[in-house]
Amino acid sequence: MAKTHHVVPNHNSGWDVKVGGGERAIKHFETKQPAVDLARQISNNQGSELVIHNKNGQIGQKDSHGHDPRRIKG
């Protein structure tokens, strides 16, 4: 299974960047966009799947960086 990185809302406030299955945040941000920017950079460098969650915790967007399971170009 490919490694994943997630941008998730923090239960206290702000947003966390986490490794999939991890409990602790790699980094915490007050707003979502800087968290997405860092997570995208990490995901791109490590060739992992990026999962961006909405404020309610549901998955809002996925972005594959190197391990796309689909065989469709684009």
Give the start-to-end residue ranges of the domains of the chain.
4-64
Q: How far apart are the first and last CA of the chain?
A: 22
- The secondary structure of the chain in percent helix, strand, coil, rounded to multiples of 5, reads 20, 35, 45
Instruction: Look up tokens 């909405």; give the residue.
Output: 54
Are 5 and 42 in contact, with CB atoms under 8 Å apart?
yes
pTM above 0.75, yes or no: yes
23/26 Cα distance (integer angstroms): 10
pLDDT tens, residue by residue, 24-66 = 999 999 999 999 999 999 999 999 999 999 999 999 999 987 6
Mean pLDDT value across residues 8-14: 97
